[in-house]
Amino acid sequence: MLDVVNEDLIREGKEPIAFDHDCREGICGMCSAVINGVPHGGFERTTVCQLHMRKFKDGDTLYIEPWRARAFPILRDLVVDRGTLDRLIQAGGYISCHTGGVPDGNALPISKGGADYAMDAAQCIGCGACVAACPNGAAMLFVGAKVAHLAVLPQGQVEAPERVAEMIQAMRDCGFGNCSNHYECEAVCPKGISVKFIAKLNREFLKALILAKTGPFKSSD
């Protein structure tokens, strides 16, 4: 739809609207717009790029705005800078393993339930709608999904306490807020990622506190 608007604007000699988009299949996470007050438009498990005009009535007025969050400065029109999400992952959202020199893929059996749980969390597309929908501008669904995905897998458990501690610290440093249980994030998530992962994040954080990897009793080792 925005393509068509832009085509018209160009024909009329006006500036087209800048907006982020790429795969148009709802998987790359590039598209980002608040439609009628709701990130991605408010249709269940749907990104903006997969939101069809047939969902609206002829003559409806659409209000289109960029993501709103302190951690996502606006670059132009509907385009925001989501570099902070990358910084959260860089803070520890990975398993440290060198290329080569890893054991056979079947060496470590992983329960089907565990693999499914990890996959439920891992399908996050990193669009940032959860942040945009949160009244606190929190990225806890995003961080929770990554922490949970890696913490449930045996190969991710080695670094689990450090990971959660560092990602939470980065969350603070990047200007994201904290969760106060509005559940707006789950409601707008195009992948339907559950807030149960925020609960998992909190439990993992508690473990890190007890292990003195973070907080007032953080040990220096």
Partner 1 sequence: MILDGKAPTGPIETTWERHRSDMKLVNPANKRKYRILVVGTGLAGASAAATLGELGYNVEAFCYQDSPRRAHCIAAQGGINAAKNYPNDGDSVFRLFYDTIKGGDFRAREADVWRLAQVSNNIIDQCVAQGVPFARDYGGHLETRSFGGAQVSRTFYARGQTGQQLLLGAYSALSRQIRAGTVKMYPRTEMLDLVVVNGEAKGITLRDLITGEVRCHAGDAVVLCSGGYVNVFHLSTNAMGCSVTAMWKAYKKGAFLANPCYTQVHPTCIPQAGEYQSKLTLMSESLRNDGRCWVPRKREDVGKPPDAIPEDDRDYFLERKYPSYGNLAPRDVASRAVKEQCDDGRGVGPTGRGVYLDFKDAIRRLGEHELRERYGNLFEMYERITDEDAYKVPMRIYPAPHYAMGGLWVDYNLMSNIPGLFVLGEANFSVHGANRLGASALMQGLADGYFVIPYTIADYLARTKPGKVTASHPECRKSIEDVKAQAKRLLSVRGDRSVTDFKRELGNLMWHNCGMLRSNKSLSEALSTIPAIKEEFWQRVRVPGTSAEFNPQLENAGRAADFIEFAELLCRDALHRDESCGGHFRVEHQYEDGEARRNDARFCYSAAWEYKGEGAPPELHKEPLRFEHVHLMVRSYK
Cβ atoms within 10 Å, residue 69: 24
Q: Would you count residue 202 as binding partner 1 (CB under 8 A)?
A: no
Q: Would you count residue 137 as binding partner 1 (CB under 8 A)?
A: no
User: What one-letter code names the amino acid at 161?
Assistant: P
Stretch that binds partner 1, among 45-53, 136-144, 194-202, 212-220 (CB under 8 A): 45-53
Q: What is the DSSP string of 134-186?
A: -TT-B-HHHHHHHHHHHHSSHHHHTTHHHHHHHHHHHHHHTT-B---S--HHH
Q: Would you count residue 111 as binding partner 1 (CB under 8 A)?
A: yes
- CA dist., res. 149 & res. 218, Å (int): 25
Q: Would you count residue 58 as binding partner 1 (CB under 8 A)?
A: no
Shortest Cβ 214–partner 1 spacing (Å) = 18
Q: Would you count residue 4 as binding partner 1 (CB under 8 A)?
A: yes
Stretch that binds partner 1, among 10-18, 134-142, 193-201, 205-213 (CB under 8 A): 10-18
- CA dist., res. 99 & res. 51, Å (int): 39
27 contact partners, CB below 8 Å, separation of at least 6: 125
Shortest Cβ 212–partner 1 spacing (Å) = 23
- CA dist., res. 191 & res. 149, Å (int): 14
Pairing type for strands 79-80 and 38-39 reads unpaired
Q: Which residues in this chain contact partner 1 in the complex, by CB under 8 A?
A: 3-4, 6-7, 10-11, 13-16, 18, 20-30, 45-46, 50, 52, 54, 75-76, 79, 81-83, 85-86, 89-91, 93-100, 102-106, 108-112, 115-116, 118-119, 122-123, 125-126, 149-150, 153, 155-156
